[in-house]
Amino acid sequence: MNAAVDLVRAEWTKLLSTKVFFWLLLVAALMGGGFTALFTALAGAQNGLPPVGSPEFTEVVAGVPAQVAVIPLVLGIIGMTQEYRHRTATPTFLVTPRRGRVVVAKLLAYAVAGVAVAAVVVAVTVAVASGYGSARGAAPDWTADTLGTLGRSGLALVVFAVIGVGVGALVRNQVGAVVGSLVYLFVVESIIASIPATADAYRFLPGGALAAMTGTGGGGGIDLLTAWQGGLLLLGYGLVAAVLGTVLAVRRDVV
């Protein structure tokens, strides 16, 4: 038990002793704040958005944190693949020869790092929506429903950090893993969603599951899973990638 805690703390020491985490946190905060400001600026029927102060607009704001999911995803990928990129896999696996333990420690450590990202992004989103919203007429009026969406939106960031570690374990090449997953999320999935014959499968894919978590972005008549199904499915993707990665890639020779 103690050894497990030590390993998770070692991962945090790694995370906090380079600048990657701070930069990604900054980018996530800027993206969250920027999207919120953009939505607030454009709120109103003439732009196809609900007016500020309406429950519908609050729902839109609550979905903003989930839009920066790529940031914790990239954070998790870098967290795992840096071991190979900078060849620190050698000292890491010398200290912990049972490599599965390293992967588990990273999953836990990056889930917590994902909580930190989520907290910052949610805080910035709410702050911008309140400040700028008031200036434009009304601050969001948070209800149990919209707070629930906001919470799941933040939770999506935690799950994507876990997915990042899993993807990184499977694809040891850092550039390959980052580019591959971005291309997948932004190109492959939107194509799948746009073809009627395959659109039905979209809800079971990571993008569809993410949309289900916040109840947004489904549009186009695609049935999404429920929020909790979507969240569990996403977590499942992350864990399956981590298990496959541990068995197929992480155990391979470190030369």
Partner 1 sequence: MEVRGLTKTFGSVTAVDSLSFTVEPGQVTGFLGPNGAGKTTTLRMALGLITPDRGTTTIGGTPYAALRQPARHVGAVLETAFHPGRSGRDHLRVYCRAAGLPASRADEVLARVGLTPAARRKAGNYSLGMRQRLGLATALLGDPRVLVLDEPANGLDPEGIQWLRGFLRHLAHDEGRTVLISSHLLSEVEQTADRVVIVGAGKLVREGSLDELRRESAGTVTVRTPQADALAAAVAGPGVAVTTAGPGALQVSGLTTDEIGHRAFVAGVELHELSARTSGLEEVYFRLTAGAEQYAATSGSAS
Shortest CB 82 distance to partner 1, Å: 6
Shortest CB 100 distance to partner 1, Å: 12
Shortest CB 237 distance to partner 1, Å: 28
Question: Which residue, 90 or 143, has its beta carbon nearer to partner 1?
Answer: 90
Question: Which residue, 20 or 199, has its beta carbon nearer to partner 1?
Answer: 20
DSSP string computed for 137-153: T------HHHHHHHHHH
Shortest CB 169 distance to partner 1, Å: 17
Please give the Cα distance from 43 to 76 (Å, whole number): 34
The DSSP call for residue 165 is H
| Contact yes or no for 52/40 (Cβ under 8 A) | yes
Question: Which residue, 18 or 190, has its beta carbon nearer to partner 1?
Answer: 18
DSSP string computed for 46-99: GGTBPPTTSHHHHHHHHTTGGGGTHHHHHHHHHHHHHHHHTSTHHHHHHH---H
The angle that helices 99-135 and 144-170 make with each other, rounded to 10 degrees, is 140
Q: 64 is written with which tokens?
A: 């903003």
Question: Which residue, 18 or 143, has its beta carbon nearer to partner 1?
Answer: 18
Site residues (vs partner 1, CB under 8 A): 2-3, 6-7, 9-10, 13-14, 17-20, 82, 86-98, 251, 253-255
Shortest CB 246 distance to partner 1, Å: 15
Question: Which residue, 83 or 189, has its beta carbon nearer to partner 1?
Answer: 83
How many Cβ atoms are within 10 Å of 9's Cβ, its own excluded? Answer: 12
Among 79, 220, 252, which residue's Cα sits nearest to residue 163?
79
Shortest CB 215 distance to partner 1, Å: 39
Question: Which residue, 14 or 172, has its beta carbon nearer to partner 1?
Answer: 14
Residue type, 158: V
